[in-house]
Amino acid sequence: MFKVTTEPTVKSMYLKQQKLIVSMDKALNKISNAASEDHHVIHLTSTTTDLDKKAILSIIQHIRSLQRGQDERILYMCRNGAEYSGLLCVLSLLLDR
């Protein structure tokens, strides 16, 4: 039903970044009136396990630079799905206020 293509992974000091493009595979799609637009997702994975303030600020700045004026989704994951992900989510919400 869906076709997922990826672009090469880009590595930085604190992150790995990969762009995914998700689209309907019309040959396998049984719903004829389904939307055929592509969805772009940027997948970020933390490469650091240390809760260093320099790393956190660098990651938040990078995420915010990706969000400016683009119609893409950003998915951020840390090693265990709780420490960095939750912290960055809360910090982003606080910075938006």
> What's this model's pTM, rounded to 2 decimal places?
0.72
Length reported for the chain: 97
pLDDT of 58 higher than 80: yes
Sign of the CA dihedral 85, 71, 7, 65?
negative
- 54: phi then psi, degrees, rounded to nearest 5: -65, -40
Report the 3 state secondary structure along 12-40.
CCCEEEEEEEEEECCCCCCCCCCCCCCEE
Q: How many Å separate Cα 57 from the centre of its chain?
A: 17
CATH for the stretch 2-96: 3.90.190.10
pLDDT tens digit sequence for 19-48: 999 888 766 656 655 566 888 888 888 888
How far is it, in rounded angstroms, from Cα 59 to Cα 82? 16
Query: What are the domain boundaries of the chain?
Result: 2-96
What is the pLDDT, as a whole number, of residue 11? 92
Beta bridge partners of 17: 10, 44
